[in-house]
């Protein structure tokens, strides 16, 4: 159930401008009378609440939002380098672990792996590769931080 003039009644209650035809309608329409009762009560309450409130200054909210925006931008900027460094770190750990295993006496790791012709050169190459990866990771982090 809805009266077509309900929105007009709400508007009139809001701005206080009542057309005579709307006043007449209000006397005949129970729905609109109900609307007027609710709207007037709530609007009066809202007006009183608005008069009493002490709003925080707009400038303070503006500055807070700016700070949050900068923090958000910084977080987004640092997320990628951290991901890259994390991936490189994981790779480094794997290489380091393998290198460490191959440094153990053959009697220890032989039951688990059978290396195809492991030499000291391979172990050295592994260590060198992990060092390079660490340096590359640091460079990426530095470049992204500067940006």
Binding site for another protein (CB under 8 A): 1-2, 7, 10-11, 13-14, 34-35, 37-39, 41-46, 48-50, 52-53, 55-56, 58-59, 61-62, 64-66, 68-69, 72
Please enumerate in sequence order all residues whose Cβ is within 8 A of that of 9, keeping only pairs 6 or more positions apart, or say none.
Answer: 22, 26, 32, 35, 36, 39
Nearer to another protein, 34 or 78 (CB): 34
- Shortest Å, Cβ 29 to another protein: 13
Nearer to another protein, 76 or 146 (CB): 76
Residue 36 CA to residue 22 CA, distance in Å, equals 11
- Shortest Å, Cβ 130 to another protein: 41
- Shortest Å, Cβ 128 to another protein: 46
- Let me know: does 137 contact 88? Beta carbons within 8 Å: yes
- Write phi, then psi, for 110 (nearest 5 degrees): -55, -40
């Amino acid at each position: 159930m809805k009266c077509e003039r309900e929105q007009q009644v709400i508007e009139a209650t809001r701005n206080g401008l009542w057309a005579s035809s709307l006043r007449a309608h209000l006397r005949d329409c129970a729905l609109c009378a109900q609307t007027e009762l609710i709207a007037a009560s709530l609007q009066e309450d809202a007006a009183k609440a608005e008069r009493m409130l002490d709003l925080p200054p707009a400038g303070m909210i503006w500055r807070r939002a700016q700070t949050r925006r900068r923090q958000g931008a910084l977080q987004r900027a640092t997320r990628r380098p951290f991901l890259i460094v994390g991936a490189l770190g994981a790779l480094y750990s794997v290489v380091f672990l393998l290198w460490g295993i191959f440094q153990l006496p053959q009697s220890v790791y032989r039951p688990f792996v059978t290396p195809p012709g492991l030499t000291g050169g391979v172990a050295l190459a592994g260590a060198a590769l992990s060092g390079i990866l660490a340096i590359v990771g640091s460079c990426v982090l530095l470049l992204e931080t500067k940006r």
